[in-house]
Amino acid sequence: MKIFKNKKIRLNHLLIALLLVGVTSCTFEEQADPNRPSIEGVLTDASINQLNNLVVGLEAAMRNSLGIQTTASGTMARELYLFDADPRNTANILGKNGSSLENGDFYSTAAWGGRYRAIKNANTLIASVNNTSSVTAQQAAGYKGFAETVIAFELIEVLKSYGKARIDVLDPDNLGPVLDFNAALAQVRTILDSGLNNLNSAGSTFAFPLAGFGGFDTPGTFAQFNRGNAAVAALYDGDKGAALTALTASHFDLTGDITVGPKHVFSQNSGDATNGVFKGPSTVANPNNGDQIIVHNSWIADAEAGDARVAAKAAVRPDPSVQDLLTGTHETRLYASNVSPIDMLRNEELILVYAEANIGTNAAQAVAGIDKIRTEAGLPAYSGATTDADLVTEMLNQRRYSLWSENHRMFDLRRYNLNSTLPIDRAGDLIYDVFPIPFSENN
């Protein structure tokens, strides 16, 4: 076994892990090791069956570390506390007594490693498609359009949590630099456009099935997911016009079902994964004081009267939970079970993107987007002022309640320079708004 001492080879360990999750029935030709699938076997003239198994593995890898990324960023943003046996969840992440974030801790390494594992798997799929005679040009375009869209989706999640990203990871011996937010986002938008071009060349059907993309499982409908991500990326890039244009080709629907969109799916089947953000409800007999996602009291206190999202996403605990001098009266009800799906990009978020993109140019349409979200939450139409500042405040408030505990709030506060508005729960705590890049990734 070769021992890698050069840190630039750090992504090699991501190549195989979860690449073929849940695909043990697959047969690989010419395996160097008969006990494990050969990467060479899929990089050289892979069959459609092998390529489709790579797709399954890629979908599985997209779920890696969702729980850690969500709860850590939510804690920083004072959306929630994670009360469990790890003291770092209520110490380092909240800057207890001035403590700093560590670039070797789980909140640094888990999300980065998980996202880049999926990106590595997507790059392997593209390389395999480029080196096989088993697919037609249309089929190849479908695989590549799918993979490129996933790469961009994962990179957006990296940028939201870390503020930087490494785009070029094709050669583990010669990794590209870690780019600042704007430079990385520009490349993400290029990747999405390339993915769209491939999807437009992919015909009417994919050569592969998809598990979490019901309604988005053809090149044409998957392109809507691609354009939804393009709208998000353009908005984050300050390009509101491009965001609005991309929305017109996405699954955005101002009057439609706000829950529509691709989802991460889970099961209790052997070899599969369950929802890492789910926590079972507490009862008087079983208060779950040792392992629970506690809703930050400010999220409850600041909610507008009658907001249905509060009752849907949180419930009063049988007794207030206290840990490390922190307390909360409510706990999560965001997911009904440990196999509940997690949204990737639903219409509700796209409506909020639409509202935000219209602020500054079309207040009436910004309000229309806000009112759709308010109405769905059981609230009356917006009646406040329509200055840009007032609309931004209202839009961010709707994002706060619609996207609670979904890895948005920390980034929203950072991009609007609103960190100072967060409550300090204990004397000596600090506000952090970005994960440290893992030590092994610094160059």
Same domain membership, residue 39 and residue 72:
yes
Asked if the structure places residue 6 within a domain, the reply is no
What CATH number is attached to the domain comprising 159? 1.25.40.390
Same domain membership, residue 317 and residue 198:
no
Distance (Å, whole) CA 328 – CA 167: 40
pLDDT attached to residue 40: 67
Asked if the structure places residue 428 within a domain, the reply is no
Same domain membership, residue 231 and residue 176:
yes
Same domain membership, residue 403 and residue 312:
no
Alpha carbon distances (Å) from 83 to 113, 203, 209, 279, 295: 24, 49, 39, 11, 11
pLDDT attached to residue 38: 59
Same domain membership, residue 361 and residue 334:
no
Asked if the structure places residue 442 within a domain, the reply is no
Same domain membership, residue 347 and residue 334:
no
DSSP annotation of 12 reads G
Same domain membership, residue 313 and residue 193:
no
Asked if the structure places residue 277 within a domain, the reply is no
Same domain membership, residue 155 and residue 91:
yes
Same domain membership, residue 404 and residue 299:
no
Task: Provide the domain count of the chain.
Answer: 2
Mention every residue, 6+ apart, whose C-beta is less than 8 A from residue 210.
Answer: 55, 59, 146, 216, 217, 222
Same domain membership, residue 186 and residue 170:
yes
Same domain membership, residue 257 and residue 145:
yes
List the chain pLDDT tens, one digit each, 443 residues: 333 333 333 333 333 333 433 333 333 333 334 344 556 678 889 999 999 999 999 999 999 999 999 999 999 999 999 999 999 999 999 999 999 999 999 999 999 999 999 999 999 999 999 999 999 999 999 999 999 999 999 999 999 999 999 999 999 999 999 999 999 999 999 999 999 999 999 999 999 999 999 999 999 999 999 999 999 999 999 999 999 999 999 999 999 999 999 999 999 999 999 999 999 999 998 988 889 999 999 999 999 999 999 999 999 999 999 999 999 999 999 999 999 999 999 999 999 999 999 999 999 999 999 999 999 999 999 999 999 999 999 999 999 999 999 999 999 999 999 999 999 999 999 999 999 999 998 75
Range of the domain at 299: 292-339
Same domain membership, residue 231 and residue 159:
yes
pLDDT attached to residue 443: 55
Mention every residue, 6+ apart, whose C-beta is less than 8 A from residue 435.
Answer: 72, 73, 101, 107, 108, 111, 112, 161, 162
pLDDT attached to residue 42: 87
User: Read out DSSP for 22-72?
Assistant: T-TT---SS-SSTTS--HHHHHSS--HHHHHHHHHHHHHHTTTTHHHHHHH
Distance (Å, whole) CA 337 – CA 275: 8
User: Read out DSSP for 86-139?
Assistant: -GGGTTGGGTGGGPPP-TTSHHHHHHHHHHHHHHHHHHHHHHHHHT-SSS-HHH
pLDDT attached to residue 9: 32
